[in-house]
Amino acid sequence: MPGNSIGHTLVLTTFGESHGSAIGGILDGFPSLIDIDLDFIQSELNRRRTGQALFSSARKEDDIFEILSGVFKGKSTGAPIAFLAGNTDAKPEHYLQLKDAYRPSHADFTWEKKFGFRDYRGGGRASARETLARVIGGALAKLYLRKQGISVTGYVSQIGSCKLDENFILKDAAAIFSSPVGCPDPETEAKMIGLLEAVKADGDTLGGAISCRIKGVPAGLGEPVFDKLSADLAKAMLSIPSVKGFEYGSGFSAAGMKGSEHNDLYISRNRAIITETNRSGGIQGGISNGNEIFFRVAFKPVASLMKDQETVNRKGEKVVLKGKGRHDVCVVPRAIVIVEAMAALVISDHYLMQRQPEV
């Protein structure tokens, strides 16, 4: 089963299933002599943990991780960093009704067609539980980027029909952490919470969008033609469970603009060449241009509902799936740290690939 690794120079490989004994990974290519802040890594895991908020799954995992190799006396050694976290609150009995039935909009049917067999306990390898390993890998990447003066910040910009104003400017990142839904604007946050409460009461779910901003990235990162920085960011984001769309810079709105409206004009300021605008989202020709990189990721509504749904079983017979179990009303707030983690891994990977030429 290929497809469990991502990266070129910095490679993350993940393993484990939703209801297996543990989730883990190996981060290979990580540079030596980086201070490894274990408390920071745990705090990142806590951001994606279930059972903490009104609209998240009731599954309660402590997500206490363990580093098995690649770290000595608080620093990375340059060897592969292996890590894992145990699954302690798995309840496979909740999924017995799924043994022979296909859940609408889940990977049950496609997984079985590909492999001839599937782990129906919470979705197995296709479960978002797998993203725990990404968050650990991403936290390590953030520690590396911190030394390079690069920061990655994500926030919820849309839940259902509630979304931030297109001209919203993020001024205070602390507002993201204080918000129960990860939205930095109090007025929009209140609308989102009201919508989520109404949808939860109806046994339904919602999707949304996460915006991400990366500051401090130098010009020159990216490997054209097929390993463009933008292409690798897109692949990383679209690999996250429930993601249905990715756009960077002006994104799909560029399709309705004229070239004279969209172009980022170059100017000279304080002996530095910069652009007046940043519709390119910090990437041109697949290579970073030194501006802030920003992108948006769209998530579909959670497919598991707390209401009955009609489907079919292996024999093609119509069956009814009962609305029960422990599921998120909306995964978007918990996915912020996952988006950040994947972005950090991609930027770190390209940073380590880059050898600055003498100009």
**Does 70 map to a domain?**
yes
Closest C-alpha to 331, from 145, 131, 36: 131
**Does 305 map to a domain?**
yes
Query: Which pLDDT tens digit goes with each residue over 281-319?
Result: 999 999 999 999 999 999 999 988 888 999 999 999 999
Structural domains in the chain (count): 1
Average pLDDT, integer, range 186-197:
96
**Does 108 map to a domain?**
yes
The percentage of the chain sitting over the pLDDT mark of 90, rounded to a whole number, equals 74
**Does 19 map to a domain?**
yes
Which CATH number fits the domain that encloses residue 156?
Answer: 3.60.150.10
Own/partner contacts of 68-75, CB < 8 Å, gap of 24 or more, are 70/27, 70/30, 71/36, 74/35, 74/36, 75/32, 75/33, 75/34, 75/35, 75/36
Own/partner contacts of 236-240, CB < 8 Å, gap of 24 or more, are 236/6, 236/342, 236/343, 236/345, 236/346, 237/295, 237/297, 237/339, 237/342, 237/343, 239/6, 239/342, 240/131, 240/134, 240/297, 240/335, 240/338, 240/339, 240/342
pLDDT band at 94 (very low <50, low <70, confident <90, very high): low
DSSP codes, 41-108: HHHHHHHH-SSSSTTS--------EEE-SSEETTEE-SS-EEEEEE--S--GGGGGGGSSBPPTTSSH
**Does 286 map to a domain?**
yes
pLDDT, mean over the chain: 91
**Does 359 map to a domain?**
no
Q: Look at residue 303 and give its three-state secondary structure.
A: coil
**Does 43 map to a domain?**
yes
pTM greater than 0.75: yes
* Residue 178 structural domain: 5-353
pLDDT of residue 260: 97
What is the C-alpha to C-alpha distance for residues 298 and 301, in angstroms, rounded to an integer? Answer: 10
**Does 358 map to a domain?**
no
